[in-house]
Amino acid sequence: AAIKKYQFDIQVKNVSRLCHAKPIVTVNGRFPGPTIYVREGDRVLINVTNNAQYNMSIHWHGLKQYRNGWADGPAYITQCPIQTGNSYTYDFNVTGQRGTLWWHAHILWLRATVYGAFVIMPKQGTPFPFPQPHQEVEVLLGEWWHADVEEVVKEGTTMGLPPNMSDAHTINGKPGPLFPCSEKHTFVIEVELGKTYLLRIVNAALNDELFFAIAGHNMTVVEVDAVYAKPFTTQAILIAPGQTTNVLVQANQVPGRYFMASRVFMDVPLSIDNKTASAILQYKGVPNTVLPSIPQLPAPNDTEFALSYVKKLRSLNSQQYPANVPLKIDRNLFYTVGFGKNSCPTCLNGTKLLASLNNISFAMPQIGLLQAHYFNIKGVYRADFPDKPPTPFNYTGVPLTANLGTATGTRVSKIAFNSTVELVLQDTNLLTVESHPFHLHGYNFFVVGTGIGNFDHDKDPKNYNLVDPIERNTVGVPTGGWTAIRFKADNPGVWFLHCHLELHTGWGLKTAFVVEDGPGTDQSVLPPPKDLPPC
Ligand code: C2O
């Protein structure tokens, strides 16, 4: 194992896209930010120096950070932000994980431009459990706003307005040639006929679940969220914000130029999609003058494709990479995902939208929850988050105004060390049109079941997949449906659980698990590093 050191300078830089230049927050002046390359077992030291006029905090999405939430990064959950002029070194070990993950700013909406890939190679001498690719390529899917993202946040969260949609999707920061002034802002992968490529695809978009496809080429999915999957071949993948997907692509078509594209998936498209990003897969020796072939993507509301795609995802579950699904459950949690309106005298309509779990909309604390937990500081959070909704109702039936009332509070759940937990996330029909990608920090979990309609506590568990369910860190809760996940609470600390649609997170669709220390000397939260940013 090696020590890998990185320097991240947070700086504002002028970047131009779609015929406009604007200042954006970057790492080292790059957009997207640099890729981190490590090997399983390495220790990573990333010094973040904040030279921008924004508070900053960086999250290493999907890294488990065993006993070491101090390096996890979500602002006010595990640390206070790094203030302008200050530095903080994220210091962590990469243990028991290999594959594609990513990193992003975890404060307000700064992740719009502050993100990059985090690639973990298997241990030296350990091959991939699939054919060795000729080349590996990172493909980061994102969004681009003309407007200042801070303004967009204000509209969405404090004025009670639905926020502006982004103006374009991007592939590695580039919208592609379908947009004005974007001919040179087009990402190109050059391939050789007969060779195989590994695409490490990340959905870094703020608010959009995406389909991604390559014209004329199938993809073989081999990994999601840094967990090997049973390979399957598909024309398109579905990927939610926060998720990663590794696919193998064979350059086996008539040499030419082929579009790769990403486009929104939404059960009820809110408006005509004009944001499709494209990039080009170009065979060696083919001149740039040859026009690319148009890719085929599922329709924006192709829920059927989405559901059947999700069903195909299975853990590899081999001897070397077994799926250790918890079979006996110590703690059953049932959280409704809902929306409500609260009165807001300063808002345009007198009300503003709130999102909630079990009717509780999460209020951000003023200091990190992990500090409060570790140093036993009272009054920061309440550990009384309910295990189930206050009153059961027909979750996916006609919306009842009685269910729109939402309480706010910094409320979390205490989880006993090493207990096995099942969490069912139930979407409700109240004002929702999209599925919710839920992300749990500090853990992977197994997705043992998912379905449309109300979760049936008696019947649905009988149909769980407890053999080879996919293991991941971010999972979609379908519109008007439910998803059941299981994990073993073996990582002590405070771990954020939230919808990875930034808009919904902003509305309060989040809470945290406080996983207690175990009895062993190596089962408790490590002491905080000396340079942890002060509050
Ligand atoms: Cu990628 Cu808490 O997020």
CB 106 near ligand 1, within 6 Å:
yes
> Does 496 contact ligand 1 (Cβ within 6 A)?
yes
| Residue 162: pLDDT over 80 | no
Closest Cα to atom 3 of ligand 1: 61
CB-ligand 1 contact for 436 (6 Å cutoff): no
Please tell me if the CB atom of residue 174 comes closer than 6 angstroms to any atom of ligand 1: no
Taking the CA of residue 104 as reference, the ligand 1 atom at the shortest distance is 1
- Whether 442 is in the pocket of ligand 1, judged by its Cβ within 6 Å, is no
Alpha-carbon distance of 362 to 440, in angstroms, equals 15
φ, ψ at 81 (rounded to 5°): -65, 155
Ligand 1 within 6 A of CB of 365: no
**pLDDT given at position 75:** 98
* Amino acid found at 266: M
Q: For residue 161, is pLDDT > 70?
A: no
Mean pLDDT over 501-510 rounds to 91
Interface predicted TM-score (ipTM): 0.99
- Mean predicted lDDT score pLDDT of the chain: 93
According to the model, what pLDDT value does residue 311 have?
A: 96
Distance 500 CA to ligand 1 centre (A): 6
CATH of 331-515 among 2.60.40.730, 2.60.40.420, 1.10.10.1100, 3.90.1150.10: 2.60.40.420
- Beta-bridge partner residues of 215: none
pTM over 0.90: yes
| 5 contact partners, CB below 8 Å, separation of at least 6 | 44, 45, 46, 47
Mean pLDDT, range 126-146, rounded to an integer:
97
pLDDT digits (tens, 9 = 90+) for 164-218: 689 999 999 999 999 999 999 999 999 999 999 999 999 999 999 999 999 999 9
pLDDT for the residue numbered 22: 94
> pLDDT for 71-111, tens place per residue?
999 999 999 999 999 999 999 999 999 999 999 999 989 99
- pLDDT average, residue stretch 325-337: 97
Ligand 1 contact via 111 beta carbon (within 6 Å): no
**Residue pLDDT, tens place only, 395-427:** 888 766 555 568 899 999 999 999 999 999 999
Ligand 1 close to Cβ of residue 341 (< 6 A): no
Alpha helices in 277-417 (DSSP H): 303-312, 369-374
CA 509 to centroid of ligand 1, rounded, Å: 13
Nearest atom in ligand 1 to 111's CA: 1
What is the number of the ligand 1 atom nearest to the C-alpha of 77? 2
Q: Which atom of ligand 1 is nearest to the CA of 505?
A: 2
How close is the Cα of 361 to the center of ligand 1, in Å? Answer: 18
Would you say the C-alpha torsion 402, 497, 201, 145 has a positive or negative sign?
Answer: positive
Residues 24-43 have pLDDT tens digits of: 999 999 999 999 999 999 99
pLDDT band of 430, cuts 50, 70, 90: low
- pLDDT per residue over 306-319, tens digit each? 999 999 999 999 99
User: What residue spans define the domains of the chain?
Assistant: 1-126, 130-315, 331-515
What's the CA-to-centroid distance between 439 and ligand 1, angstroms?
Answer: 6
Q: What mean pLDDT do residues 332-351 have?
A: 84
CB 510 near ligand 1, within 6 Å: no
Domains 1-126 and 130-315 share a fold: yes
Measured in angstroms, how far is the CA atom of residue 498 from the centroid of ligand 1?
8
In angstroms, rounded to a whole number, what is the distance separating the alpha carbons of residues 462 and 324? 18
Q: Is the pLDDT of residue 283 over 60?
A: yes
Is the pLDDT score of 224 beyond 80?
yes
Please tell me the distance from the alpha carbon of residue 406 to that of residue 352, in angstroms, as a whole number: 11
Ligand 1 geometric centre to CA of 200 (Å): 18
Higher pLDDT: 505 or 463? It is 463
Q: Which DSSP category does 373 fall into?
A: H
Which strand (E) or helix (H) includes residue 506? helix 502-506
Comparing 146-160, 202-216, 217-231, the range with the smallest average pLDDT is: 146-160
pLDDT given at position 154: 77
Q: What is residue 111's predicted lDDT score, i.e. its pLDDT?
A: 96
Model pLDDT, residue 398: 73
In this predicted structure, what is the pLDDT of residue 343? 78
Distance (angstroms) between ligand 1 centre and the Cα of 501 equals 10
Ligand 1 contact, 109 CB (< 6 A): no
Mean pLDDT of 46-55: 97
pLDDT of 11 over the 90 cut: yes
Class of domain 1-126: mainly beta
Which tokens sit at 166?
């982004």
What's the rounded Cα separation, in Å, for the pair 25 and 502?
17
CATH number assigned to the domain with residue range 130-315, chosen from the 4 options 2.60.40.420, 2.40.10.10, 3.10.310.70, 3.40.50.620: 2.60.40.420
